[in-house]
Amino acid sequence: MNMLMHFPKCFAAFRWVMLLCGGLALAPSLAMGQALPPQLYSEMDGIHFLDDGSSVTIWGYGWVTDGFITLPGPLLTYNEGQSVDLNFVNPSPESHTIHLHGLDVDQANDGVPATSFLVPTGGDAVYSFVADQAGTFLYHCHVTTTLHLTMGMYGMILVKRPDQTLFEGGPAYTEDAPFLFSDLEVATNLDPVGSFPFHDIRPDVFMINGKQGSQLEAEDERVWSAPGDTVALRLGSMAYSRVRCHFPPELHAVCHMSDGRALPESFAVDSLDIFPGERFTILVAPEEGFEGAVSCDYWNMIDPGIEDTQHIHFGALPSSVQALGDFGAACGYPNPASRWYHPAGAASGASNGFEGEVVVTDAQGRECFRGVLQNGRLDVSAWPNGAYVARCGDRQPTRFVVAH
């Protein structure tokens, strides 16, 4: 019996009071109209839908502003060298922490209950650190870790460089594509209290970014690339399995980094083992029109054998999209952009004579903006770093990068 499923509904209301109070405490200047700082929270009554339509209970992290948790937790993105205060509030019925896996933070901010501190029910905390190394990292709860991880309390962290290179002196790339491997044991998620003993957790659901099977074939789960694009696959594992990725030759995959550090020598890769807690950054340059997949085998760590295979699917963007950095008269500027972007290339004012509807999509084809420009420009200051495609009527689409 999952006792947590039967928590009084009044507790849910209490949690939201706690969330609100926690948020207000963190932002005393709210009354002056300033935005709340981003704040993670934890919950233990989330629902996650599997590919077969069934659902399991999850514990996890979400943004206070979203009001729901996800599997995995939100992607945390920082700039190299950034001083970070990661705000966390815990309205859930158990204590939790955030361990910043691989960021080499000091003991006080390490997120291990015995050597750092717990965030009890109703408590909040700030994890402070400097994101001094670009790369791929993870975060997860370190309370009864065996259970809290299989229940879903984990996510990925990207530390990026503003010049869109992997590391100082490293290769440039067009787009990040983060993929977090994980697994869960349905019986445990349905009955976490009854899941003891923990030494015999045998996962039976295997996921990439919390998705599996046909869920990964959806358009917004694919990696979309145009000719000439170089995509940084940010691969990390919170699984109980060893994940072996197989890269089709059409991707021209090259491994450049592991665990947030540049490798002494990059190397071409056709298959790669990723053990629990490891991360790798692979640059791929898909051949024009490539629409295939990276297959990912989940190997049992105890009794070797493949338990399941999931796929990272690739799709091809039209080759008519103008290449990054190819500035023509009709191209937008500045590129990269951090505050304003002029998609129709207007020097100022009325967008170079274009007054129609502008549509912007991200690299995965998701629509980010549709409408008529004000003063010929887009405010991209709150947009995530990445590559975008702008379409201005019948004009040739242009690609641009947002980099903060």
Partner 1 sequence: MQARKLHLSKGVMWLALAILGPIEVHAQTTPDTLWIQLNEVTLAGDTMPALRFCPSMDWDTVNVSFYVNVGQSYEVVVFNGDSVDHGFELGVAGWSAVNLPAGESTVVELPELLEGSYRYGLSSERGRVLGAAGVIVAGFDALPHFHWNLGDWEPARMWGVANGGAVDPEAPYVPRQFTVNDRIFPNTLNDPFGHVQIGVGTSCYITIANQGSMDHVLHFHGFHVEVLQASQHPERVGWTKDTMPFLQGEVTVVRLDAFQAGMYPVHNHNLIAVTNAGLYPGGMITHLNIAP
Q: State the residues that interact with partner 1 by CB under 8 A.
A: 99, 101-102, 104-110, 112, 114-117, 125-126, 128, 144-147, 149-150, 196-201, 240, 242, 258-261, 263-264, 267, 273, 275-279, 301-303
Between residues 144 and 338, which has the closer beta carbon with respect to partner 1? 144
Least CB distance to partner 1 at residue 311 (A): 23
Comparing CB distances to partner 1, the nearer of 109 and 351 is 109
Q: What is the Cα–Cα distance from 55 to 306, expressed in whole angstroms? A: 24
**In whole angstroms, how close is the CB of 194 to partner 1 at the nearest point?**
12
DSSP one-letter string for 318-365? -TTSPPTT---TT--BSSSBSSEEBTT--SSSSGGG--SEEEEEETTS
Task: Give the containing element (helix H, strand E) for 145.
Answer: helix 145-150
Comparison of 190 and 263: residue with beta carbon closer to partner 1: 263
Tokens of 44: 């233990």
| 371 class by beta-carbon count within 10 Å (0-12 exposed, 13-18 middle, 19+ buried) | exposed
Closer of 117 and 327 to partner 1 (Cβ)? 117
* Smallest distance, partner 1 to C-beta of residue 125, A: 7
Residues, the chain:
404
CA gap 13, 108 in Å, rounded: 32
For residue 204, the minimal CB distance to partner 1 (Å) is 14
Instruction: Collapse the DSSP code of 280 into the 3-class scheme (helix H, G, I; strand E, B; otherwise coil) and give the result.
Output: strand
Q: Which is nearer to partner 1, 103 or 324 (CB)?
A: 103
Shortest distance (Å) from residue 359 CB to partner 1: 42
- Candidates 75, 250, 274, 251; CA nearest to 176 is 75
- CA-nearest of 16, 54, 289, 283 to 184 is 54
Burial of residue 333, with CB atoms counted within 10 A of its CB: 0-12 exposed, 13-18 middle, 19 or more buried: middle
Instruction: Kindly tell me which of 70 and 136 has the beta carbon lying closer to partner 1.
Output: 136
For the bound state, the minimum distance from the C-beta of residue 143 to partner 1, rounded and expressed in Å, comes to 9
